[in-house]
Amino acid sequence: MTSIKANDLTTLAQWMAGDFSNYKQSYHNPQQFAHIHIFFRPLPFEFFNTIGFYSEQVYDYDLWSPYRQGVHRFVDQGNQIYIENYSLNDPLLYAGAARELSILRTITPDCIERRYHCSMIFKREGEMFLGSVEPGNKCLLERKGCLTYLISDVELTATTWVSLDKGMDVNTHQQVWGSTFGALEFEKRESFAHELPLDRV
């Protein structure tokens, strides 16, 4: 097992910190892809005493109503970077926090809850990082009246985020939700890397 380079964790954080948009994809294929933003906004070092992020996924036409929100904690595991996922106990209170720092500052560790079995694992592959949900098919979500497990795959470069999330029925292993037209292809519109507390890590 080879150890990750010392700067891989900080590189991953710098590349991830930003506002990503799939505008081009949605413009060229509007019937298949809505215009979506993914925001990854760095949290203060004191939140986890390491690198952490708040994330939002929103439709461009309704930026104040995110359909997915989360909090993420980076863990250096030597040969890979493990990113713990947390849900917010009352997510509506923090809608817009990815764009408004005054809202972001109201998020505290006591208002989040760990989503076990839903962590992401990232590994450096040349000029990109490849990420996927931790193995075991135990990241469970109830959607459309049935219990599903999450399959999530990500390719991240300095300027792009390509992701495919699918929910699979726990009994039939058939896809219940998620894109049926392929991965979502995002380009970074704005970087928040300057907000990372890299001097504290």
Q: What is the pLDDT along the chain (201 residues), one digit of tens a residue?
A: 334 455 899 999 999 999 999 999 999 999 999 999 999 999 999 999 999 999 999 999 999 999 999 999 999 998 899 999 999 999 999 999 999 999 999 999 999 999 999 999 999 999 999 999 999 999 999 988 899 999 999 999 999 999 999 999 999 999 999 989 999 999 999 999 999 998 887
Q: What is the fold of 8-200?
A: Lipocalin (2.40.128)
Q: What share of the chain is helix, strand, coil (3-state, %, to 5)?
A: 20, 45, 40
- Of 126, 130, 174, 170, nearest to 152 by C-alpha is 130
Q: Quick check: 121 and 132 in contact, CB under 8 A?
A: yes
DSSP state of 25: H
